[in-house]
Amino acid sequence: METRKTVALLLGLPITFISLALLAGGIENAWIILWTSVVCTAGISLLIWVPLWWFVGWVIIKIFESLTGRTIAGGADIEETQAISSGETVAISSDQKSLINYIEKAKKQGMSETQISNRLKAQGWGEDEIQQAQYFARESLGES
């Protein structure tokens, strides 16, 4: 999960800086504002800047994930468990969980597995990922 926080910071910093440059009338003015705020407060202003950078990055990540349906920046580090009918428990990533949820919703809307599979392939999902997620979706929905 630390990777996700780092990516959020690295996304948020340039976006925030560019926004500040637009508001301040240029890159040099933005740099002066940032530098002065950090130096004059002996670094205390970083208690404002760093969370702001993280928040902006977090918002960008959330927007990207909601638009694409894909989890980025360490999403595979989060594991959940999925019980299957044989009684065993399998660890699945949040990417896989999102894929399973998508398939379950699509099936409830009347789409066939072939239609779902074709859409997911068009979005860049691999055949193995799709088949595994379809298996878990069938299990979850009580299908054979």
- What pLDDT does residue 28 have? 97
Kindly state the average pLDDT of the residues 14-39.
96
Q: Give the burial string for 61-75 (b: 16+ CB within 10 Å, else e).
A: beeebeeeeebebbb
Number of neighbours of residue 40 by Cβ within 10 angstroms: 10
Q: How far apart are CA 78 and CA 63, in angstroms?
A: 19
Quote the percentage of the chain above a pLDDT of 70.
85
Query: What is the residue-averaged pLDDT of the chain?
Result: 84
- What pLDDT does residue 88 have? 56
Q: How far apart are CA 2 and CA 22, in angstroms?
A: 30
First to last CA, the chain: 35
Is 50 exceeded by the pLDDT of residue 80?
no
Per the document, the length of the chain is: 144
Residue pLDDT, tens place only, 84-104:
555 555 667 777 888 888 999
Confidence of residue 69 (pLDDT cuts 50, 70, 90): confident
